[in-house]
Amino acid sequence: MRKWLLLIVIATISLLALAACGGGGNATDNNDSSNEAETNDSEETNSGESDSDESFTIGATQIVEHPSLDAAFEGFKKAIEDAGLNVEYDYQNAQDDQNNVKTISDNFVADNVDLIFANSTPSALGAQNATDEIPILFTSVTDAVDTGLVESMENSGGNLTGVVDLHPGAIEETVEFIDQYFNGAHIGVIYNAGEQNSVIQIEAVNSAVEGTSLSVSERTVSNSSEVQQAAMTLAGDVDVFYIVTDNTVVSALDSVVGVANDQQIPLFVGEPDSLAKGGFATYGIDYFTIGYRTGEMAVEILQDGKSPSDIKPEYPPEMQLYINKEAAEIQGVEWNDDWDDSAEFVESE
């Protein structure tokens, strides 16, 4: 009897031990599930933190390096920096080569950048031809309507908008200045006929000259190496030079300045940065300012979710007479006291 009682006790103890082990296993499983849930919650939280610090890639394309375009790009970047956006720039210079313009734009599309900053008319046209989906912002563009970049200055009509670099009255004011202080002058202009922005400006110069005492002689170039020869062929026949914002000619402006200085021919230019290179006078705008405004548009698109079609293209906010006194003296300009009050002065570099 005692043996049976002992066996029953041993069996009972064994069953209780097995039950305890089973309960322990379930507790461990529950803890594992709880830990897994905490891990998932942590990953979701980290993902949310990453989204709040969103970064963007901007493809920046520029036809050629010269001070005005460089200043516009600096202004563009400063506006984005001031807004606190996290942006990486893929900057590409086309070296004044239209084939490069296309390749650069196509690469931006292939890389699926968040926005394209097109700094010049050729660059903007190249970007426009490459994509109708990626937002494009332009500046340093002379006439966005005639070149077909936008439908009108009241409505962009597509994936492009920006700030043009030609104040509506700049060329007329410059021609009027020449007519007033260089009465009867023969104006020499040099430009690349392959740049639409330049053709538009030369047409505007010829139109503004009508009804004045002035006349115009033109020379065209296809690359910067031809600029000096074009200036020399004009030098014997003209009284002043007028170099508009042609990217090819401005990139080789030193060649024109050299001829102007040697022959004492006053050199009018299209923007203030060319005065620092040796130009005499211009009615121009601040390229950093128009670049900055374009950067503000980029913030509206990237941060606020606007489309380029929601933002009207804009003209430069203001225009000013700029004069380089040193260049005036070298180029044989007879100084007029009126300019002391009306002009902002720029020094040569």
User: Would you say residue 34 lies in a domain?
Assistant: no
CATH number (domain holding residue 116): 3.40.50.2300
User: Would you say residue 248 lies in a domain?
Assistant: yes
User: Would you say residue 2 lies in a domain?
Assistant: no
> Is residue 178 domain-shared with residue 158, that is, in the same domain?
no
> Is residue 175 domain-shared with residue 272, that is, in the same domain?
yes
- Helix, strand, coil shares, percent, the chain, to 5: 50, 20, 30
**Model pLDDT for residues 242-285, shown as the tens digit of each residue:** 999 999 999 999 999 999 999 999 999 999 889 999 999 999 88
Spatial CB neighbours of 132, under 8 Å, sequence gap ≥ 6: 158, 159
pLDDT, residue 349, reads 83
User: Would you say residue 187 lies in a domain?
Assistant: yes
Biggest CA-to-CA distance, the chain = 141
> Is residue 115 domain-shared with residue 81, that is, in the same domain?
yes
Under the phi-then-psi rule, with left for phi > 0, alpha for psi from -120 to 50, and beta for the rest, what region is 81?
Answer: alpha
- The letter for the amino acid at 159 is N
The tally of CA atoms less than 13 A away on the side-chain side of residue 89 is 18
pLDDT, residue 114, reads 98
> Is residue 260 domain-shared with residue 126, that is, in the same domain?
no
> Is residue 123 domain-shared with residue 199, that is, in the same domain?
no
> Is residue 144 domain-shared with residue 189, that is, in the same domain?
no
Q: What angle do CA 52, 53, 59 make, to 5 degrees?
A: 125
User: Would you say residue 194 lies in a domain?
Assistant: yes
For 232, list phi and psi in degrees, rounded to 5: -70, -35
pTM for the full model? 0.72
Closest listed residue to residue 306, CA positions, set 192, 159, 168: 159
User: Would you say residue 48 lies in a domain?
Assistant: no
Measuring CA to CA, how many Å separate 155 from each of 151, 290, 313, 338? 6, 19, 7, 40
> Is residue 250 domain-shared with residue 335, that is, in the same domain?
yes
Closest listed residue to residue 140, CA positions, set 230, 209, 75, 218: 75
> Is residue 306 domain-shared with residue 253, that is, in the same domain?
no
Domain that holds residue 262: 170-284+319-345
CA 239 – CA 263 distance, rounded (Å): 10
> Is residue 82 domain-shared with residue 196, that is, in the same domain?
no
> Is residue 341 domain-shared with residue 298, that is, in the same domain?
no
pLDDT, residue 36, reads 35
User: Would you say residue 276 lies in a domain?
Assistant: yes
Under the phi-then-psi rule, with left for phi > 0, alpha for psi from -120 to 50, and beta for the rest, what region is 243?
Answer: beta
pLDDT, residue 239, reads 98
**Model pLDDT for residues 306-325, shown as the tens digit of each residue:** 999 999 999 998 888 999 99
CA 124 – CA 80 distance, rounded (Å): 20
Closest listed residue to residue 63, CA positions, set 156, 161, 140, 165: 140
What average pLDDT is seen over the chain?
Answer: 87
User: Would you say residue 41 lies in a domain?
Assistant: no
Q: pLDDT below 50 — which residues of the chain?
A: 1-52
> Is residue 137 domain-shared with residue 232, that is, in the same domain?
no
- For the chain, the distance separating the N- and C-terminal CA atoms, rounded to the nearest angstrom, is 119
* CB-CB neighbours of 124 under 10 Å: 31
The runs of H, that is alpha helices, within the chain are 2-52, 67-83, 98-110, 121-130, 170-181, 196-209, 227-235, 247-250, 253-263, 273-276, 287-302, 325-330, 338-342
DSSP state of 225: G
Number of domains in the chain: 2
The tally of CA atoms less than 13 A away on the side-chain side of residue 7 is 4
Task: Please say whether the beta carbons of 86 and 55 come within 8 A.
Answer: yes
Rg value, the chain, Cα: 33
> Is residue 258 domain-shared with residue 303, that is, in the same domain?
no
Beta strands at 186-191 and 240-243: parallel, antiparallel or unpaired: parallel
Spatial CB neighbours of 138, under 8 Å, sequence gap ≥ 6: 117, 118, 119, 121, 123, 124, 127, 144, 149, 160, 161, 162, 163, 294
* CB-CB neighbours of 7 under 10 Å: 10
